[in-house]
Every structure is written in C-alpha cells, then in structure tokens.
Structure 1
Amino acid sequence: MSTKGKVIKCKAAIAWEVGKPLCIEEVEVAPPKAHEVRIQIIATALCHTDAHVIHPKFTEAIFPVVLGHEAAGIVESVGPGVTSVKPGDKVIPLYTPQCRKCKFCLSPRTNFCTKLSRVKNPIADQELMEDKTSRFTCKGKPVFHFMGTSTFSQYTVVSDINLAKIDDDANLEKVCLLGCGFSTGYGAAINTAKRGSQVRKGKVQLFDVAVVLEVSWRLSWKVTPGSTCAVFGLGGVGLSAVIGCKVAGASRIIAVDINRDKFTKAKALGATDCLSPSDLHKPVQEVIVEMTDGRVDFALDCAGGSEAMKAALECTTVGWGSCTLIGVAIDDKGLTVSLMDLLTGRTINGTLFGGWKGIDSIPKLITDYKNKKFNLDALVTHTLPFDKINEAFDLMYQGKSIRTVLLF
C-alpha cells in the first residue's frame, strides 16, 4: 500500500531533555510539502556533534528534538516541485544545503549556501522546515528537526537542496559516513586544492582580478606531495583527515590523540608517527618541532578546544605553515592568537563539511570509494540495530568506537 501523501508512523530516537539518554518512541512523520522529500533512513552513523546537543554545557539546543545527520536512505515520496530525485532513489541527506542559485553556490570559493549563511549556528539551527513548522509529532506534540536532516528516525523529511542522489548500487551501510565525518576530515586535507583548481580552469575576465589572486591563495594551502602534516584528534574526522593527507601525497603524517588505542588504526590508514600528549614531558607542539626539524607544513585540528588549536597552530612552520580548524569542543574558550604567529607567514583557516558542495560532490566521492581511492570501511568499528542507539553513545564516550552505524 502506498504511503504517498499520508502520515507515516515509525520509530525514532528523541532527545527530550539535556543530559539524558535518547528515548525510542513512535513518531508521526508528515508528508513532504513543496520542495521537500521524505526519506526512509536505512543506515545512520553516530557523530560527536549529536552528543554535543545533549551535553549540559551546550546551551543552544531546543527540545524535544530528533538528532542525527550522518545517514543514507531511500526516497519514499516527494513534494510538489521536486525534480532532482524520485521515489526509490538512494540518497544522502546533507546538513549543508546547495541551492545552486545563490552567489555562494555559484562561486567555486566556498561550499556555503545562502540558506546556511543565514543561520547563526549550523549545529543548533535548521530546527524547522522552510515554513517554520516541523514534520515530526510525538505524543501529540511537535518535535524539532536537527541540522536539516534528523536521521535518528526511520523516516525523515528534508529540503530537496539538502539531499544528494547517489548510485543505485551504493552500500548504504558504508556510504552513510559521507554525510559528515569522512567528508569533513578528508575534504579538509584535499578540498581546498580542488577549489583552487576549479578557479584556475575557469574563464577569467579582465575585471576579475580577485579571482586570479584567489587561485594563488587557495593553492598555497593544499596538502602537497612530499609535505609534512600533523593531525590532532583521531576520531572519525581525524582519521579521515589522515586518509586525505595520504591521498594528497604527504611524506610524513604525525597523528596526535590522548587515546593510544587509536594509533594502530591511524598507522594502517597512513600515519607515519603517533603521539599521545599524556606520554610527553613537554607540550606536543614542541615535540613535533623537534621531530620535524622545523615544524610541519600543515596541521589539522580535528579535536577542538583551545589547547589543541594552539598546539596545531604552533607546530606549523613559519613562512607558509597552514593550520586548519575542524573540531568543535563543548564550552570551548576559543583560540588566542599572537600577531607574530601570523606575521611570520602562518595562516589559519576553517572548514565546514570539508568544503564540499554536497549535491555535486557526494556522487563523485561515491565513485572514488567504489574505485578504492580510500578505505571508508575501516572507519566503521561497530554496527548495531537502531534500538541500541544509547549503547552506541556509550561506545563513543568511552573512546571504543570510531564510527558506529545503526541499522533500522
């Protein structure tokens, strides 16, 4: 029996309040409205960002909410005006929209979209659909969306510009990681260079002097063959950054984490050296300076927090060192930067979703995965039924998992 145009009852994990485990509940998921798509989620992975929202020190979340933003599924039905996907298509929901029309989407210099640029915090915002209403109801009460995706539900509704169509033969249990963790870390290492290349290939008009400048600026940041890199934090994002550095041809990749249990995996994925700050008698950045005889070319902070950001910046070389900030820590006090760190030629940049324009780039990443350009499977350490979602959170809190995939 067709469910098109009807309310669907299904199970979802709802966060009712801060600091409490999620509750498996029956929810009602309304049909999609104009330019919306209802998806049957097949596999969803757990990311630290989901845990941030229910952390007592995170003050921007609103409850109740259906969390989840790293998933893959199948289109169940589409609303009026949707032409990009059809029922039966395999898809990956995106927390970074791509309208393909705004000045940001039309520029090769960013993966931001006007829709995302209007929100204050991509993690806490996108809690309602475009018409400022929710498609979720539980126990007679509306439930908020999360990051425009809400994948901790067997069915969810997203905007058609928050959705990438993928190949029919894609393994949803693995490619769901492309919805956040892998794409973010991998793209942080390689995607800036890709953007530079796109500008370089474009037609440059006489009045586009800024575009010419952008080419040299972006290309100076890419992880280059033979370069040295340091990656701070070896969760799913950090290990993906290690993979990206290796694919880019880095000659030395120094992986840093307080959890030594992650070192074997890091080395298998391309790390040449591993350091645990708790084992050292001096700041880790000083040790890296000694190891490299002059600091690394590129540092990528996938851990977050002022200490990790400071270490990442200070271990980069003068002249051209690049520090990319990726990780987000709860109750972070920010980074205090000495002007001299920048006057000596270092640069600091940040990235969201690895710089990928999701609708355009995710299908290409799927192709690279199928062609074995990178090892995505190695990041999946646990696979559990969806009902065990709180066990997945415990594994993450205890540092025992890289990525846990939950199956409906």
Structure 2
Amino acid sequence: MADNGRVEPTPARDVVILGSTGSIGTQALDIAARNPGRFRVAALAAGGGNPGLLARQAAEFGVPVVAVADPDAVPAVLAACEEEFSRTDRGDSREHRVPEVLAGADAVCQLATWPCDVVLNGVTGAAGLRATLAALDAGRTLALANKESLIIGGPLVTSRAKRGQIVPVDSEHSTIAQCLRAGRDSEVRRLILTASGGPFRGWAKDKLAGVTPQQALAHPTWSMGPLVTVNSATLVNKGLEVIEAEALFGFGLDRIDVVVHPQSIVHSMVEFADGATIIQASPPDMRIPIALGMAWPERVAGAAPGLDWTSAASWTFEPLDEQAFPAVALAREAARLGGTAPAVYNGANEACVADFLAGRISFPRIVDTVARIVSEHEGTSPTGVTTLDDVLGVDAWARARARELNR
C-alpha cells in the first residue's frame, strides 16, 4: 500500500507459454495482449505443426526465442518467421531480429527453465511431463493446464513442487483452489467436480456404439482440441480430473465426487463440514482460469465477460450415469492402484482416441480397451515415487498395447 492509500500497480510478470499455438496458448496470448502492463511474453514453445501462427505470435510479442517439439518443423518455422518479421518491419529504430528457434523435446524443457516469473504449461498430453518437471526444478511458478503431468507423474511431480508452486489452470481445479479460500482444509467435507456430460449426455450405452468422430468432436459448451474434446465425450477427462484433484489438493478419493451440470456455468464446488457449499460460477470461457493461473493469487480485470444476471436462467445438476460412461469409475480404480497405473490409464486412452479419430475402433471401444490394459497392468505397478524412465516406459507400453489390441 502506498503512503497515499492507493494500491500500488501490480508489477508485470514475465511468462513463458508452452503450447502457444493450441487452445490454451492462444487464449493466454489474448490475455497478455490485452494486459501489456500485467504480462510480458518471454518465450514461446509449440509442437511445430502450425509454423505460420507461431511466427505471428513471435512477431507480435517480440520474443527472442521459440521452441518446437518436432525438429522437422524447424525449416518451416524459420521461413515463416523470416517472412512475418519482414512483413511487420516498419523501418523504425527497432532492431529486426528473427527469434532463435530451438528444436526437440529437450528444447521445450529448456524454455520451461527460461528466466521468467510463470511458466504456463499448455502442452497437450503426456508430452507435457518433462516440461512440468523442468519448470518445478528451476523454481518457476507453474500454471498447469497439462493435467497429464499430474496423472502420469503423480508423486514424481508433487514431491518436487514447493507449496503453492503449482497453480491449476483446468477450470474445475482452478475453481476448487478459489473455493478453498473460504475455509481451512480441516473444514472441508468433500470436493465436487462438475461435468458437462459431453455431447452424449442421456444416451443409453447401446446407442453409443454408432457414435462418429464428428459427433464426438461436437462439444455442446466448450471449444477445445480433439484429444480433450473426445475425452470429454467419453468422460475420461473427468476421470483424469479426479486423479488430478487428489494429487493437487490431498483429499482422498472418497471425498471427491462428480456431478453432471450441462450448462457448464458452475465449474466445481467445495462442501464444508457445516453444510455450506461454495461454488464458482462464470461463463464457459477458459480465459478466466488461464488469467488467474498467470496472475495468481490476483485476478485480471476483464479477462472474459461475466454472467448476464438480468436474464432468466436455469442451472441443473444430475448424477453421473456410470453404466453408460464407466471412465470415471475406471480412473478411481487406477488411482487406488497407484504407482504407474494412472499413467497406463492415460497412455492407453491417448492411443485409443487416436485410433477412434482415425476410424479404426468404435467409440465404446476406447474405454473398454483402456479398462483391459489397466487390468493387465494391475499387480505390476510400482508404488511410491517412480522415476521419469519408469513413467515414460509404462506410458509407451500402454500405448503399444492399445495399438495391438485395436488392430
């Protein structure tokens, strides 16, 4: 507080964005562009599949370095950067400098340790684990949108994180972190994750056999990448979030519930011992949890439009149909097994989603195959803190086994 009673402006934070061309990354950059006094983009990393967009981002934010996970993408990224920087060069006094382009998984990890205040990990899938560990080991605050890091890494991640070092960006876990401010952990009765139910909410199990990839990718409320969208349709995403919630907040699986909320306005809840339930409600706009993740524990004004309280609206809640959608129960079983079982759940699922999108297997076959592979792995999963090689080895085995079963 300044001597005149006014609140001092918040210092700008330097942010490294991993997965900059994906859904999370592009929305994070939108927030940064609209709040130049709050955020400076220090570096960008992406897969390399969209070199034009990465080049435009690099030029807009003037980053000195970018990384691409795919080394084969480097020539296209360099060419796009040369073209973009030449096109945007206004002939002023600023030095025209194309950013350095690093390549490979190690390059993405290198940027996770780049000098900055916050690393936003928006990498999709298990590939984000190495970057998560690198950011934590470097002492960076980690705004974590890559839930798979905690799913497959588990104690490997949490044992390295200092208190408060991981800030969740998933809307559900961001909500829980906000709601937990209302009381002490000892006062919490249970966490309640909300699920939209996806595009097939209310469908009978036998009807799901005919689901097409196009139908599965048509989410009713959220705009996300293909893997997350299909995971939402199968409810695997909610299963992953149950495992993530246990790792993040330290409450047992018996104190983490799931309820279906089709409107996606209430993003989760915390019920306290006295019967009070604290909720967080906002439109289904990921810019709100992304902005909060980058600025935690402060909020960013105007991150996204709020709810319209002048119009009538109804919010409904219903139980999860675990017979038609067994993915959450399966995730609980993997979490109870512990060790590398959650990594098997995640890796097998990612391989099965790819096979489904390619038309090689049916929609119900995704979870059926994951269940079989988790069962095959049961009893062989090491307990306690595993090594990165253990995790990646099991992840590779689960993917290979899924491809074998899906032939």
Q: After TM superposition, is the score higher than 0.5?
A: no
Q: Which structure has more helix as a fraction of its residues?
A: 2
Which protein, 1 or 2, shows the higher relative CO under an 8 Å CA cutoff with sep ≥ 6? Answer: 1
More strand per residue: 1
Shorter-chain TM-score category?
Answer: under 0.3
